[in-house]
Amino acid sequence: MQDTPIYEVVIGLEIHAQLATQSKLFCGDSNLFGGEANTRVSAISLAHPGTLPRTNKKAVELAVKLGLACECDIEQNNYFARKNYFYPDLPKGYQISQHTSPICKGGNVRITTTAGSRAVRLNRIHLEEDAGKSLHDQHPTKTFIDLNRAGTPLVEIVTEPDMYSAEEAGQFVAEIRKLVRWLGVSDGNMEEGSLRCDANISLRPAGSQTLGTKVEVKNLNSIRHIKKAIEYEISRITALLLQGQPIIQQTRSFDADNDTTFALRDKEEANDYRYFPDPDLAPFVISAEALESYKASLPELPNALHQRLLQMEELTEYDAQQLSDDLHTAQYFEEVSLYTSNKKSIANWILGPLRQWLNDHQLNFSQVPVSPANLAQMIDMIESGELSFSTAVSRLLPALIKEKKSPRELAETLNILQTANESLLAEWIQEVMNKMPDKVQEYRKGKKGLLGLFIGEIKKISGGKADPQKVTQLLQEKLNQP
Ligand code: ADP
Ligand code: MG
Segments of the chain scoring below 70 in pLDDT: 1-4, 268-270, 482
Indicate the Cα dihedral angle 150, 154, 160, 166, nearest 10°: -80
Domains of the chain: 7-289 (no CATH), 299-414 (no CATH), 422-479 (1.10.10.410)
- Looking at residue 385, its pLDDT comes to 82
In the reported structure, the alpha carbon of residue 397 is separated from the centroid of ligand 2 by a whole-number distance in angstroms of: 52
Q: Which atom of ligand 1 is nearest to the CA of 159?
A: 14
Any ligand 1 atom below 6 A from CB of 160 = yes
In the reported structure, the alpha carbon of residue 205 is separated from the centroid of ligand 2 by a whole-number distance in angstroms of: 24
In the reported structure, the alpha carbon of residue 22 is separated from the centroid of ligand 2 by a whole-number distance in angstroms of: 28
In the reported structure, the alpha carbon of residue 182 is separated from the centroid of ligand 1 by a whole-number distance in angstroms of: 28
Any ligand 1 atom below 6 A from CB of 126 = no
Residue nearest to atom 17 of ligand 1 (CA): 12
Instruction: Please choose, from the candidates 373, 378, 429, 372, the residue with its C-alpha nearest in 3D space to the C-alpha of residue 399.
Output: 378
Q: Which ligand is nearest to the CA of 124?
A: 1
- Looking at residue 2, its pLDDT comes to 56
Q: Which atom of ligand 1 is nearest to the CA of 14?
A: 14
Q: β-strands 104-105, 108-113: how paired?
A: unpaired
- Looking at residue 268, its pLDDT comes to 64
Q: Which atom of ligand 1 is nearest to the CA of 158?
A: 14
Residue nearest to atom 3 of ligand 1 (CA): 270
d(CA 428, CA 457): 9
- Looking at residue 269, its pLDDT comes to 66
- Our mutation pick for probing the ligand 1 site, out of 157, 200, 269, counting the most ligand atoms within 8 A of Cβ, is 200
Any ligand 1 atom below 6 A from CB of 8 = no
- Looking at residue 44, its pLDDT comes to 95
In the reported structure, the alpha carbon of residue 267 is separated from the centroid of ligand 1 by a whole-number distance in angstroms of: 13
Paired strand residues for 195: 17
Residue nearest to atom 14 of ligand 1 (CA): 12
* Contact residues for 81 (Cβ-Cβ < 8 A; gap 6+): 96, 97, 98, 99, 100, 275, 276, 277, 278
d(CA 459, CA 125): 62
Any ligand 1 atom below 6 A from CB of 45 = no
Any ligand 1 atom below 6 A from CB of 12 = yes
Q: What pTM was computed for the model?
A: 0.87
Residue nearest to atom 8 of ligand 1 (CA): 200
Q: Which ligand is nearest to the CA of 158?
A: 1
